[in-house]
Amino acid sequence: MSVRSRIEADYLIETALDPRAAEEAMAGEQSSGTFVPVPGETPELKARAAARVEALELLGTVPEPTLPGARRPQGAASAWRRPSRKYRSTPTSNGWGALSRHPALGWSYIAWQRVWHLAGADHMQVNGLANKSAEDDDSVIASAHACLSPLFDDKPYLAMPVFSSGQSARQALGTFAALSEAA
């Protein structure tokens, strides 16, 4: 069996929930794009390719969340905890858009997806319309079009945009319409 390299990423999150449970849910979503099991997603596949929480460090608490409009879930802790996590993910099967969520991070998803594309990613998270993050719908559609744009003239090598972040069947028609309008 060949050894596959894994990419390590450090994240800062805020949660009113149990930090370990929140981190595990996020790692699971970034592995398959959903919080629920996907048909054919076996324990062996997850062990080989899933993102993992490697370390968890609590950095303190704040009385209110940093993200405007964030709400505390019913029954959640009274303070917002700021854990950081390290997890690793394989570079050859998928990419994630976490580094494109805020303009202060210095580069757009359009550039980021090309790096992942060149590294071998064949599907990449582009967030979703009416998402739970701070990314607006125009940015989401621009990201999807970037994935669907040819990488090279002689070898198009397109990537599948994976719409996530709280998506359901309710967003399907709007997503198809927005992709068609922007084409």
Mean pLDDT of the chain: 75
Which tens digits make up the pLDDT trace of 102-147?
A: 556 566 788 888 888 888 788 888 888 887 666 788 988 998 999 9
For 90-141, where are the E strands, in sequence order?
Answer: 123-127
Q: Write the pLDDT tens digit of every residue in 30-52.
A: 665 566 666 777 888 777 777 77
pLDDT at position 89 is 52
For residue 125, what are the β-bridge partners?
Answer: 162
Q: How far apart are CA 5 and CA 2, in angstroms?
A: 10
pTM, two decimals, is: 0.51
